[in-house]
Structure 1
Amino acid sequence: MPSVEGAAEPPTATGPLEPERTVARDGALSGWFNHETGELLPGYDASGDDVVLDVGCGDTPLSSFFANRAGSMIVADLLAENVEKAESRLRAVGARNVRAIVTDTDPLPLDSASVTRVVATEVLEHVPDPTRFMAELVRVGRPGARYLLSVPDASSEALQQTIAAPSYFEPPNHVRVFSREAFERLVVDAGLVIEHRKLYGFYWTMWWCFFWTCKQDLSPPWHPLLESWTRTWGLLLDTEQGGQIKAVLDNALPKSQLIVARKP
């Protein structure tokens, strides 16, 4: 995951503001991590027959949700320390079979048609050649394989460009910005069929804006401004119309655009 931006990790400070509860509720309202249905996101699940590949996994793989559901897990990242931590996290939450790979994905050291689920979230904006990267993801997928892909939304990136540290838009961080049309075209041109699109993350768009203003590291204790924003967002979500307002704001200024797709 990005060295400046981090892995879209929630604030983990503890205390009366309950930031973890707010982040969890925000995600749940968008359909993330549904334990009742077994879906990581609506329309995206895995079972014991699946081989899940998480590319650009960072040290906290999103695919850990499938750890005790999927038949086997593969985590891949450019940084060895991320791969080591990701593997440890997966084993700690009950993954049955884990393979960890340090790779730049050019090419992926996997056989063609060897995986059934591919997770690549907030990765494409970092890679030098997105077309080649997508070709590798498609190559390793079996017919019928399903893909969960995301990139930062162009609207949020435009906002970040006015206030972020210069390194945020320099290698190895965000080297390109995808419009929604360009992201969709990249996925379709790679040979995938788009099943579902989603915009998500107004809370995170604003969190990062405040983060740059605070000029602090990506670790607690968090600046009072960040704590105050998280508390405000939590109070909003707890209101009767909180979920409705969140949905409107997520579509107006999302942090990320997501696509669920299938290999024919």
Structure 2
Amino acid sequence: MLTVDFARLPVGPGVRVLDLGCGGGRHAFEVLRRGADVIAFDMDQAELDNVANMFAAMDKAGEVPPDASGRTVQGTALDMPFEDGSFDRVIAAEVLEHIPDDMAAMAEIFRVLRPGGTAAITVPSFLPERICWALDEAYHTAPGGHVRIYTLAELSAKLKATGFEIGPHHHAHGLHSPYWWIKCAVGVNNDDHPLAKAYHELLVWDIMKRPAATRIAEAVLNPIIGKSVVLYVKKP
């Protein structure tokens, strides 16, 4: 399940990409499939071990184009171990809402991106996120959880103040917002609730099969209740 639109963030052979806060590696895997050189960066070494194993499995299965590379690096978004201008592209998907000093992280993204490079920044959309916070306090108070709700205007203003040129944006995952509202309504940690389980099975089916009906439904819902907003910015 990709949040970033790679038509707006083109990657390919010879392009150096940082997947900041890579988590399970979903964007890093797609970058590698497209032939770019990607570093999956995260604080969680266990997640990085799984990503490294998948990189190796992809290579063994012949899914990695010639000369493309994928590796993992552990660290913090507030002090990344990379030289200035190391990357042509940076992906920061659902990261900034976890970081108290988000502008320090934005400054690090700006630093490691080369002049003329592009970053894709994704955060939870305001309305779906606000509803989740209202329904269940545990959704955002758990350790490592979300510390703020962004409006698109706030996110754009902070990135502009960091030095970025603000580009286009879009919303994603309109079908996922109702799932999280259900989860928060029944208890965000209550994975066994029948309604939550049924909706989760629907989402898994949709991700695997991608039928036309749900693709159309999500395209309609994205601008209204898309779970994520994606903003593309450029370093001058």
TM-score normalized with structure 1 length: 0.75
Secondary structure of residue in 2 paired with 1:99: strand
Instruction: Within 5 Å, give how 1:231-246 maps onto structure 2.
Output: 243-246=215-218
Q: Does 1:200 align with 2:172?
A: yes
Distance 1:218 1:90 in 2: 32
Distance 2:154 2:130 in 1: 16
Instruction: Within 5 Å, give how 1:243-262 maps onto structure 2.
Output: 243-262=215-234
In structure 2, what is the equivalent of residue 228 of structure 1? 198
Distance 1:71 1:203 in 2: 30
Distance 1:159 1:57 in 2: 26
Distance 1:238 1:92 in 2: 28
Task: Classify 1:122/1:210 alpha carbon distance in 2 versus 1 (closer, same or farther; 3 Å).
Answer: same
Given that residues 118 and 148 in structure 1 are in contact (C-alpha distance below 8 angstroms), is that contact kept between their aligned partners in structure 2? yes
In structure 1, what is the equivalent of residue 45 of structure 2? 80
| Aligned residue type for 1:72 | D
CA displacement, residues 41-74 of structure 1 (integer Å, 9 cap, x when unaligned): 3311211111110111112342210113344211
Q: Does 1:52 align with 2:52?
A: no
Given that residues 20 and 40 in structure 2 are in contact (C-alpha distance below 8 angstroms), is that contact kept between their aligned partners in structure 1? yes
Which of the two has greater helix per residue?
Answer: 2
Distance 2:85 2:10 in 1: 19
Deviation at 1:156, TM superposition (A): 1.0
In structure 2, what is the equivalent of residue 166 of structure 1? 138
Secondary structure of residue in 2 paired with 1:187: helix
Distance 2:102 2:70 in 1: 26
| Aligned residue type for 1:103 | G
CA displacement, residues 150-193 of structure 1 (integer Å, 9 cap, x when unaligned): 00011111100122242524541101111110011122222222
Task: Classify 1:141/1:227 alpha carbon distance in 2 versus 1 (closer, same or farther; 3 Å).
Answer: same
Distance 2:193 2:119 in 1: 36
Given that residues 139 and 188 in structure 2 are in contact (C-alpha distance below 8 angstroms), is that contact kept between their aligned partners in structure 1? no
Structure 1, unmatched stretches of 5+, are 1-23, 34-39
Given that residues 139 and 184 in structure 2 are in contact (C-alpha distance below 8 angstroms), is that contact kept between their aligned partners in structure 1? no
In structure 2, what is the equivalent of residue 20 of structure 1? none
Instruction: Within 5 Å, give how 1:1-264 maps onto structure 2.
Output: 40-94=5-59, 96-166=68-138, 168-215=140-187, 223-229=193-199, 243-264=215-236
**Alpha-carbon RMSD:** 2.8
Given that residues 126 and 171 in structure 1 are in contact (C-alpha distance below 8 angstroms), is that contact kept between their aligned partners in structure 2? no
Task: Classify 1:77/1:232 alpha carbon distance in 2 versus 1 (closer, same or farther; 3 Å).
Answer: closer
> Identical aligned pairs, as a percentage?
23
In the alignment of these two chains, the number of paired residues is 225
| Aligned residue type for 1:161 | W
Structure 2, unmatched stretches of 5+, are none
Distance 2:139 2:212 in 1: 38
| Aligned residue type for 2:12 | S
